[in-house]
Amino acid sequence: MRAIAYFQKTFKENIREWKILVMALAFGPFFVYVMHAYMGSATTRYTLLAINRDRAVSAAGGRLSAGADLLAQWTKAAYPDGKAIFKVEEVSDLRQGKTRLKNRDADLLLIIPADFSLRLRDHLANHDEGLLRLTSIGDHGYARYSMASAFADYITYAYVSQAAKVRMPLQMDFQSITQGRSLSEFDLYVPALLVLAIIMILFTAAASLIKEVDKGTITRLILSRLSTREFLAAVSLNQVLIGTVALGLTYLSALHVGYRSPGSLPLFLLVGALSSLAVVAISVLVAAFIRTIFELLTVGVFPFFILMFFSESMFPLPRITFFRLAGHSFYANDVLPTALTVKAFNKILNHRAGLGDVGFEIGGIAVLTLLYFALGVWLFRRRHIVNNGGR
């Protein structure tokens, strides 16, 4: 009964402090709308600069303008949803093109030589065994260049083999793991954006705990014989409700901007609720080291950013394997339960995974939650309960 009474107290306090509650609930939807406005619902489009020095030549059946034909192939290249892969721009100045590459205003620069059509014609007539050459310029350490170059190379090889009437000895059969649904770049980001909504309750959960210490009311709670277990259970239930509501609002925001998922909604919410509990466990650990709300808003920002960045909610991280278990890899950043949540959400929402498919992630989140709770409760009792006369 004491736990229920304290749950009602903290629930009313969260409603009373509506500004913090609104911020926690609006954080996830805000990022969904911002990222959708930034990325749109389209797949990535690369800017391809081309210097076409090719000169058309006479050939059997008319004129051969291989350079112009190749430009047309790059321009027509499209994703399965029909949207163009490249934004093709012809430039005449090599220095200007390199400057645009350095400024990230373009992803790839291709130079078609003056004898491109001539060499292709001679190859067809068996007059020349020399290679046709194109020059590809870009930053090899830039991920967009690598992707743009791969697309452009594939299209170029396909065009040349067709124009030169060369039968390729290999055919690739492409199969999708998304069961026919083409995922946009925004779709791939949605699972991580949903986790941001859960991470935000780090502040609300820690604030519910530390304000009792800050205001000195922790002594009254001790005198009321409210046990540490009852105290933390009431706060945890309250924060899991807030986290689940925030997750639901963020998911509805994603649906509003066009995101669609074939995955199981009950399984998604189950993983979300468990992950909210995991963040509460981390909040207990954070609250054990601070005493005032001011410290929470300063020192508490550090663990928040650790969760946000190292859970892959903002960008992918290098894979550093700690161990493998039953065919699953446990990576360095998986010590954060929210990193496992991102993986689980991606499997459920984008790949229609079932309970068995995310069992490793759910198990990992549960184990980490217990570990963080055990350490957090021990430290919190030692620093804030025992020191104030409690047991």
Yes or no: say if 361 and 343 are a contact pair by the CB < 8 Å rule: yes
Confidence of residue 41 (pLDDT cuts 50, 70, 90): low
Asked if the model's pLDDT at residue 1 lies above 70, the reply is no
The torsion defined by the Cα of 77, 79, 80 and 81, in degrees rounded to 10, comes to: -110
Q: Compute the chain's Rg from CA coordinates.
A: 29
Round to the nearest angstrom and report the end-to-end CA distance of the chain: 19
Confidence of residue 311 (pLDDT cuts 50, 70, 90): confident
Q: Name residue 135's beta-bridge partners.
A: 111
pTM of the predicted protein model: 0.75
- Residue 92 burial (CB count, 10 A): 9
Q: How far is CA 94 from CA 68, 87, 145, 244, in A?
A: 18, 18, 17, 54
Which residues lie below 8 Å from residue 246, measured CB to CB, with a gap of 6+? 24, 25, 27, 28, 197, 198, 200, 201
Yes or no: say if 41 and 263 are a contact pair by the CB < 8 Å rule: no
Query: Tokens 């309250």 identify what position?
Result: 238
The predicted pLDDT at position 290 comes to 84
Yes or no: say if 79 and 85 are a contact pair by the CB < 8 Å rule: yes
Q: How far is CA 74 from CA 104, 113, 167, in A?
A: 20, 16, 21
Q: Where are the domains of the chain?
A: 2-39+184-388, 46-163
Amino acid in position 7: F
Question: Among 275, 299, 273, 277, which Cα is nearest to 286's?
Answer: 299
More confidently predicted of 302 and 18: 302
Continuous H helices in the chain? 2-16, 18-39, 66-76, 94-102, 116-124, 143-163, 185-199, 201-214, 218-223, 228-256, 265-287, 293-298, 301-310, 337-351, 359-380
Rounded Cα gap, residues 371 and 386, in angstroms: 21
Helix (H, G, I), strand (E, B) or coil at 182: coil
Asked if the model's pLDDT at residue 197 lies above 70, the reply is yes
Confidence of residue 50 (pLDDT cuts 50, 70, 90): very high
Residue 334's Cα: distance from chain center in Å? 15
Averaged over 283-298, what is the pLDDT?
A: 85
Confidence of residue 207 (pLDDT cuts 50, 70, 90): confident
Helix (H, G, I), strand (E, B) or coil at 111: strand
CATH of domain 46-163: 3.40.1710.10
